[in-house]
Structures are given as C-alpha cells and as structure tokens.
Structure 1
Amino acid sequence: MHVPTTTPVLIVGGGPVGLTLSILLSRYGVDHLLAEARPGTSRHPKARGISARSMEVFRRCGLEEAVRDAGLPASQVFFYRGRDLVDPDFVRDGVPHEASEGAGNTPSPGMICSQDALEPVLSGRARASAGDRVRFGTRLLSFTQDEEGVSTELEDRADGERRTVRAGWLVGCDGAASTVRAGAGVRMDGPTGLGHFLSVRFEAPLGGVVADRASASYFLTPPGRGGFMAVDNDRHWIYQYPFDPEDPRGDEDLGDRKHLEDLVRTAAGIPGLDVTVRDTMIWRMDAQLASGYRAGRVLLAGDAAHVIPPTGGHGMNTGIGDVDNLAWKLAAVATGRATEALLDSYEAERRPVARQVIDLSTDNARARAGYRIDDELLLTAAYRSTAVVPDPAAPARPPLDPSGYHPSGAPGVRAPHARLAGPSGISSTLDLVGPGFTLITASQDPAWQQQADAAAAAGVPVTVRRLGGGQLSEEHPGSFHQLCGLPPSGAVLVRPDGHIAWRASSPATGPDLLRILRRVLTGAPWTTATSP
C-alpha cells in the first residue's frame, strides 16, 4: 500500500461528501489523503436529488455540465402521485427546471442524479486532481490525537497491509455508522426507527408505461405502498417498500427474489411485468444530530454529523454544504493564513442548518405524500459566527427560511445571483467567486483596490471584481447592488464558499479590509466595541 506517512488532511469516506471535500481541497491547493473502505463507488442509486445549492458548488468546481449529463433530463423533474404506475387518475406536480435555467435565483437549478451515477463523476475529478491520494479499498482501523495532529492506522483491504499515517486534521465523512465519530467520542442525539424500508433495484421495461407521466419519483397513494424512484425512466428503477420489522403479522420473506418481483408487479399495477431484481438494501429512517462537529483535530461532515430523513431530499445536499463550508477554512488553517479558532465557526454555522433540516424533513415524513420538495431551501442558509461580520442593519434570520429564498447582501447569506452579459464563461455573479476572498463592487474608487493590495501584502489575497464599465457587465445594470441593498460605492466581501463575510456602503465605512479579514481568520468574537 503506497500511502504517504504524513498529510495535512485525512478524509475518511469516499461518498459524495468526502469526494466533494477532496475536490475542494485540491482547488484550494491543500495536499490531502482520502481513504474509503469500499473497493469502488456505489452500485446502489441511494441519494438522488441534487439541490440548487449543491449544483452551485459543482459549478464552482467546473463539474456542473458533467453532473447534468449523468442525471435525468430536466424535463422529467416532476413528482407523480397515484395508486400505481398505470392509475388513470394520477396527478403530477413540479416545474421542469429547464424552463428557469439561468434565471430567477440561481444559474444552477437542482436536478436528479442518482448516487451510483454521481460518484464516478466526483471520483474521476478527485483522482484527476489528487492522483493516488484518493484511495478506495482502504479502511481506517483506529486513531489517536494530540495537540499537534492525529495518528491513524489504515488497512489495505486487498492485501491486509497496515500503515500509520500522521494527519494534521482528520475529517469523518464516513456515514451514519461513522468510525471517526465513534473514535472521537461524539454522541448522536435524536430518534431512530421512524420507518423501515426495503429498496429494490430492478430492471423492467417501464419506459413505455410512463411515457406520458415521466417523473423523478412516483409516490403511491393507498392502497398502493411505497413508491418508485426513476434511475433512467426506462429500464432501471428502484422500488422503496415500507415494512414494520416488529409487526407479528408480517410473514414476508424480503430475501426471496420471486416475492420481491411480485411486490414490484403489484406496486406497478402490471401483473405480467417482466421484472429482474438486481439487488436490495434495507435501511432505517432516523433523525439524529451529532452533539458536536469538532473534537480537537477531528471534524465531522455529512451523515457522520447528521442523519436526515430522506423526505425532502436534503440529506446528501446538507453534507455537500458542510464540506463547502469546511474546505476553505481547513485550507486557511493549513496554509497558516488563519488560526485554528476559525474551525470553530464550522460547527457554529452548519449545525443550526442541519438541526432545522432534520426538523423539516421529519415533519415531511409525518405528512407522507403531502409535503413539498423545495429545491431552493438550502440557498436560504444564513450564518452567524466569528467568520461573519455582524451588520446592525440586517434583520435577524433563522438558519433557513422555509418561506422561500429572498436575495440579500446581509453578511452570512449566500451572495445573490445576478445575470452577467460577459465575458465568455461568466454568466452569473456567482461565477466571480474564486478560491480566495472576493470583493465585488460597482465602484471605480481606487480605494477598494488599494485596500485589497494591502491585504495581499499582509498575506491574505483578495480579488476585486468590478461590475459595469469594464468587461463585467450586468444584463440589468445595478441589479447586484440593488439585491445587496448597497449604493454603487459599496462592496461585499465574499468568502470562498460564496457566503458574504462583510458589506460596506463605501471604502471609508468602518474598518479597512485588512482588519476585517484578520478578525474573520482569527476567529475573534465580534462585539459592539469591535464591530464596524
């Protein structure tokens, strides 16, 4: 097993969350090692819905087109409800995302791409960037930590060879049964067993059956049970069958292929359907949140930090949001631009979001087929932490706003999307966000560039992006600053994850840029006396 003996960051877990973290760390120039116990990417579709916010992350990494090519066409992003697949009284809701691409609140609307199709795309990019530092078939056996780092023991599952790797930071992206979380002594709080399901991956010639009702998900109403998840809306499908393992009346053999084929035929409403079962997976619906996201030099992300009911499609997406938040902070600490205290803002910002997502998804589970899937919910995330400069003019906001996305320039929120007319390859203000801090302004005042130059001279590069008057022209001049609630002389300082760290109405407003950046990167608390 050819692995390094030391690494700044060790990622444990190579699902969508761990692979996205690897891609982001490579983008920030941070050396790292990823260890995944499985021999390869997932064969089961598992998670399928990719929200607008996750697509924006993939867009920033240059992966949006590849992910879209791997998923369902936008014209099929509907949600079907009926007694079975041939119910003449079916209803279908949802709006095809192709109708709004590039418009509205995001340049990157959500889509359906099952995990078995997504992971190869992410793995390919991660390997292209990090090479053999992305290692499948490698298991974490144990670890110990001290003030300087984490000593881990890894095992190559093919030949049993073991190696000790010393990491500056260990990030657990290893799922609900996280070895990293258990080793760090972090507990999970919340109910388990909210439901039990059998997922049956099968092949059947259903493309013609659903041609007039093609959807991403097919929820079955009574007397139907469970629902169908489209993999390709043709031959490849998942049937999710709910069951009660404690029901003494249950006499079903969930391992019998003929019985499973009959379950699929009954649910589809087609007695003679030709069904071939490929594999099955039994899973339990839980709603749990880790008591903490950081324990010394160990951090948790994705299902290792929160287990979210799938009713709403926010589980994987919340995990992708975790690592988008964490990656730039790890990079800043690893390169010496920030103190370790910056990492405390990770839990402060992401744990409240997960708490609210869990609650909303649990409510959806109780509502059964009556809930609404909100593609833009995670766009509304608003952070409060030492990595965000408080703005007395900004109203207090919950972590998420279920009422809908409302563009704003308030510190802590995602920078709003405004359409740009050029140059080529840049069509949204979100495309201006780089791997470092970005200052976006419409002002031609040289003071903004002077402040950015002073920050760069002190070791904190800031890229100034000026809207209007040059190459960066808005389709609707002034729209970005209007959305941000700023005059043209103002600016917003955008973090590498696309969230606003600070806004000012002019270069002369409050402290200079370098002072703001130093306080953000050192994790010093903002008080009335120190706030701008």
Structure 2
Amino acid sequence: MMYDVHEPRVLIVGGGLVGLTAALFLRYHGVPSLLVERRATTSPQPKARRINIRTMELFDQIGIGETVLDAARDLSAHQAMAAGPTLARATRLPFTLPGGMPDWAAITPSTACLCAQDLLEPTLRTLATERGCDIRFGVECTEFTQDTTGVTATLRSADGDPRRMRVSYLIAADGAASPIRERLGITRSGRGTLGRAVNVYFHAELSNLVRGREFNLCQIENDRAPGAFMSVDGARRWIFSTSHDIDRPVRDWPRALRIAIGEPDVDLEVVSVLPWEPGMFVADRYRDGRIFLAGDAAHVMPPYAAAGANTGIHDVHNLAWKLAAVLRGAAGPGLLDTYHTERHPVGWFTADQSSVRTADLRTLAHRSTDGTPLADPIAMILGQRYPSGAFIDDDSPHTLTHLDLTGQPGTRVPHLPLPDGRSTLDLPGPGFALLTGPQADHWQLSKRLPDALRETGCAATPPDASSTERRADHRIPPRPRTYVHTLDEKWCVAAGITRSGALLLRPDQIVAWRTPTAPADPATALDSALDRILAEPQKR
C-alpha cells in the first residue's frame, strides 16, 4: 500500500446528490476534498425530482443555480398535480396551501424546479469537476480507522491496488444502507417501515396525451391499477408508483400500465421494476469523532416532495462552512458538534412530517394519517429554526404553522430585495456578514470589526494554493471584500431590529446573532459573539 502525496482534507464517500453537493460546497469554502463512489457512474434511475426552494437558494449561492435550471428545462411546465380514473381522463387539481398562496418574490429570490436525479447527478458531477473537485467513480472505501488527529481510509478501484490515504475528516454520504454507519455502530430511531411499494420506470410517447394537462404527479383512482404517474421528462420517460399488487411478474406490468394510462394500445417499454419500502429511520448520532453522516445515511424518509434528498443537501451545506472554519483555525473543534445539534432535529422533524403525509394528492398538505399536526409546507422548507447550535439564542417566538422568518437567531435570514438587484441572502458567504440598520456609523467606524469578520471568512481557494492557482481558479466566487452592509428601515422591521441594531449572518445564511440596538462597545460585543458562535475561548 502507499500514501497519496497530495492528500485532501476531507474524504466524501458516496457520489449521489448529497456527496456531489458536499464536494461543491467544500470547494466554495476552499477546502480540498476527494469524493469516491463505488459505482462506475451516476444513478441511471430518475428517483428524486423535486429541487425545492431552499436547495435552489444554496445552489444560487455557489453560482450553479442557472445550470441546474437549464438541466430542469424539460419539466419547467410540469409543476401541477392531477387526478382521475386514468391518465387519459385525469384533470389538474387546484394547487392550494393551508395558509394560502404566498407572494413567492417576497420570500425568496430563487425558483424551485423539477429535475430527475439521473439528469441532476451528471450535471453536479460535471460542475464539480470543472471547479477542481477530485471526483473518482469506480472507487470504493473498503476500510477506515480514526484517531484524535484524522482518519485513515483504504480505497480500492476495480482494476487497481488498494491505496491508503490520510484525511482530517470523512463525510459518509453512502446511502440508506450506509456501510460506514453500520461499521460505526450508530443506531437509528423513528417510525420504522411504513409499507411496501414499487416504482415502474417505463418509456412511452405520451406527450400528446398530456398536452394541456402537464403534471408533476398524476393520481390514478381506479380499483384495477391505482397509483400515481410521475413525469421524468414530460414526454417519453415516466414512473408509475403503486402499493397495489406490487409482486406481479415483470411481464404483467405493461398490461397494468395500459389500464392506468387508459389507452389499451399504447406502445411502451418497461425499463425497470424497483420494489421499495417507505419508512422513517433517523440516525441517533450524526457525528462519530471525525466522521459525519449526511443524506440517507443520516435520515431515511418517505419521498414526500423529495424531502430526503433536499434535506441531505442542506446537511452538507451546514457542515461545509464549519469544516472550513475549523480547518483554517478560525473556529474551535467544538463548532463541529453543532452539526448534529442543528441538523438532527431538522432531519427528525422532516422525516416525521413526511411519514404522516397522506398519499392522496387531494389532501396531501391538509391532513395527516394519524392526527399529527402538519407544518405549513413552505415553513417546512424555508422556515425551520435550530433549537440550539452555533448561534446565540434570544428566546424570540417562532412557529411552523406559517412561514415565520423575522430575524430570529437559528433561522434563515429574511429575504429582502436590495437596490442593486441582490437579496439579503447574497450577502453572507463564504464568510460571515453583518447587516446593520441605517444608523450604523458606530459599526462602520470600528477598525476591529472588519478584522473580526475577516478572521471567520473562508478563502475561495485552499490556503496553501499558489497565487497563480488562485488567479486561474476563476470559476470559484471570490472572497467578499465587504463584510458590513447597511440596510434601510424596511429591513429593520423585517429583521426585528432598530435603526442602530444589527444581525450577524453565518456563511450558510443563518442568523447567528441579533442585537436590536447597538451595544455600548460594538466591536467588543461582536468579538464576544463570534467567540461563542465559533466555539473559541475568550481571547480578548
């Protein structure tokens, strides 16, 4: 065996949506990583398709949102739900939310989309490679050990000798069965298995049949072949999902599909038949020393609006800036404990909410299977609040019965369009940002303030990269030069501060600290807040 000469700081095991986005987020923060995936290529199955608003906000932050939207163009008109006795006779359902339809432009600058996983994964892989990420498919992590200073992993390719490498940390994004989680002995809790189902992926030219009634999901309401159709490209690629007669032989599925379609002579080809079991299984620990679980390795949940995939992407967005800060020496190692503290409650709540949503598209957002109160769907995506973690709580109220983002620490910063066309969401990252009210002279005049913020910011390229490499790496957004942003009174009202107050934003757009009015010594107060947030001892 041999050691790599140029060793990355983080090893990512798993090349699905979560692993690939982990590599991209780490690259954004200047952390070199290596991703290994035992499969030879990305997933051939459409699987998850919904890319929610919060995920698109994160993609926009690192500059890949437009590329993802371009990959999703085939389904751009297929956002509706439909239902009927057959696909041919189905009609669109009115789209309603418990609290009514929001003003989307007022709550987010980003746009959700539908993009089949077998299109999104190659897109992310290409983006990661273009940005300098080390992505290796056909390579398996066969062994790993950890100690107080790092992780030693053994990697094996199909046609090569085992190779041992040393990294600082490991991210396990290796799926629901997660060999890494099992090896660590991390148990899981939750509602368990919730039934059985099957997804039939097939090809059939149905664009003429659905024209004018384009849909994301179409519920089939008959006794012979009940289930739901999912659009993969809106024309020829489709998935039929059902929990009815799931053990029928593969040869019998074309007949069942034609009954559900309502066209007995339609020409179709069954590509695959995949039985699966919806369920809720959440890891009891997201961290074991220097190893972190993310995505399905950390939480398995029913496929309500692709909540599992999106939540996994949010996991690694939370983790990436923390790893970067610790690796740069800008934060204490205790900051990494907040990954579990913050993400485990969100993973549990999202998995539980997904588990009690009915399968009936007519009541999906309005009724639970067992009487569990349902969170507002938009609040579930954008409005969750961490109960504790890398922020300073101010005991302000918060609810998930509607979208409640008013600057509470532990929540995503409220979106407010800025005069230059940006959003308040664009101000943090890769470092921290301080947003102040218009009476901000005392903040701006503090010479120590920019230094305090700069210490916590993360370079866009690795700290040891040469100046030539930094100049050549034009695809990575540059480190921001402005750390303090003065906003107007409208912002103050939205953020719960006075004209002299301020919000400190983490690199992941989460409010870390709120001071409704200016402290007597702003620089000292900010330094103290940063020390607490970044798990560092008081140094000043």
1:167 aligns to 2:167 (yes or no):
yes
| 1:226 corresponds to | 227
Asked if the contact 2:37–2:140 (Cα under 8 Å) also holds between the matched residues in 1, the reply is yes
Which of the residues 113, 118, 122 maps onto 2:120? 118
Q: Which residue of 1 aligns with 2:387?
A: 384
The structure-2 alpha-carbon separation of the partners of 1:95 and 1:38, relative to structure 1 and needing over 3 Å to count, comes to: farther
The separation in 2 between residues aligned to 1:127 and 1:232, in whole angstroms, is: 25
d(CA) in 2 for partners of 1:459, 1:155: 37
In the alignment, the residues of structure 1 paired with residue 304 and residue 402 of structure 2 have an alpha-carbon distance, to the nearest angstrom, of: 18
% identical equivalent positions: 37
Give the CA deviation at 1:369.
5.3
Other-structure match for 2:534: 521
Give 1:5 shift.
6.3
Task: Give the alignment of 1:480-495 within 5 angstroms.
Answer: 480-495=491-506
- Per the alignment, residue 47 of structure 1 pairs with 48
Distance in 2 separating the partners of 1:421 and 1:382: 28
Is the Cα–Cα contact under 8 Å of residues 331 and 456 in structure 2 kept in the other structure? no
Q: Which amino acid aligns with 2:497?
A: L
1:412 to 410, 413, 429: 410
Query: Which amino acid in the other structure matches residue 255 of structure 2?
Result: D
Distance 1:500 1:356 in 2: 20
Once residues 71 and 281 of structure 2 are traced to their aligned partners in structure 1, the CA distance between those partners, rounded to angstroms, is: 31
Alignment gaps of 5+ in structure 2: 366-375, 459-480
- What corresponds to 2:28 in structure 1? 27
The one-letter amino acid of 1:481's match is: C
Cα offset for 1:456?
4.8
Q: 2:287 is matched with which residue: 269, 287, 294?
A: 294
3-state DSSP of counterpart to 2:199? strand
Question: In structure 2, what is the Cα distance between the partners aligned to 1:225 and 1:316?
Answer: 26
2:433 alignment counterpart: 438
Q: Which residue pairs with 1:146 in the alignment?
A: 147
Give 1:365 deviation, angstroms. 4.2
Partner amino acid, structure 2, of 1:58: F
**Paired residues for 1:471-510 under 5 Å:** 478-508=489-519
Q: What's the secondary structure of 2:36's corresponding residue?
A: strand
Q: Which moved more, 1:480-489 or 1:444-453?
A: 444-453
CA RMSD of aligned residues (A): 2.5
**TM-score scaled by structure 2?**
0.86
In structure 2, distance between residues paired with 1:32 and 1:357: 29
Distance change (3 Å), C-alpha of 1:375 and 1:213: farther
Contact 1:201/1:278 (8 A) holds in 2 = yes
Counterpart in the other structure of 2:452: 455
Shift of 1:436: 0.5
The alpha-carbon distance between structure 1 residues 79 and 46, as it changes in their structure 2 partners (threshold 3 A), is same
Shift of 1:192: 3.7
The structural deviation recorded for 1:458 is 5.7
The aligned residue for residue 11 of structure 2 is: 10
CA displacement at 1:37 relative to structure 2: 1.2
Write out aligned runs for 1:272-351 (5 A): 272-351=265-344
Sort the Cα spacing of 1:73 and 1:236 in 2 relative to 1 into closer, same or farther, 3 A. Answer: closer
The 3 A distance-change label for structure 1 pair 65 and 101 is farther
Equivalent pairs, count: 496
1:415-452, Cα deviation, whole Å (9 max, x unpaired): 00111231xxx431111122000111233534323242
Cα distance in 2 for partners of 1:290, 1:439 equals 35
Contact 1:10 1:170 in 2 (8 A): yes
State the partner residue of 1:472.
none
Judge conservation of contact 2:86–2:222 (CA < 8 Å) in 1.
no
Give distance in 2, aligned partners of 1:101 and 1:43: 37
User: In the alignment, which residue of structure 2 is the partner of 1:512?
Assistant: 525
Which whole-Å CA distance do the structure 1 matches of 2:104 and 2:12 have between them?
34
| DSSP-derived class of the 1:171 partner | strand
Q: Describe the superposition over 1:278-333 as per-residue Cα deviations: whole angstroms up to 9, x where unpaired.
A: 23322221211001000111110110000011134311111111111111101111
Distance 1:191 1:485, change over 3 A: closer
The superposition leaves residues 192-249 of structure 1 with CA deviations (integer Å, 9 ceiling, x where unpaired) of: 432222222211111111112101111222324111110111111111132467xxxx
* Cα separation, 2, equivalents of 1:3 and 1:36: 18
TM superposition shift of 1:185: 1.4
Cα distance in 1, alignment partners of residues 300 and 407 from structure 2: 31
Q: 1:408 is matched by which residue type in structure 2?
A: T
Deviations 1:97-129 (A, max 9, x none): xx9896121111322111111112211111112
Q: Within 5 A, what are the aligned runs for 1:197-212?
A: 197-212=197-212
Aligned letter for 1:390?
D
**69-78 or 39-48, which moves further after superposition?**
69-78
Partner Cα separation in structure 2 for residue 278 and residue 161 of structure 1: 35
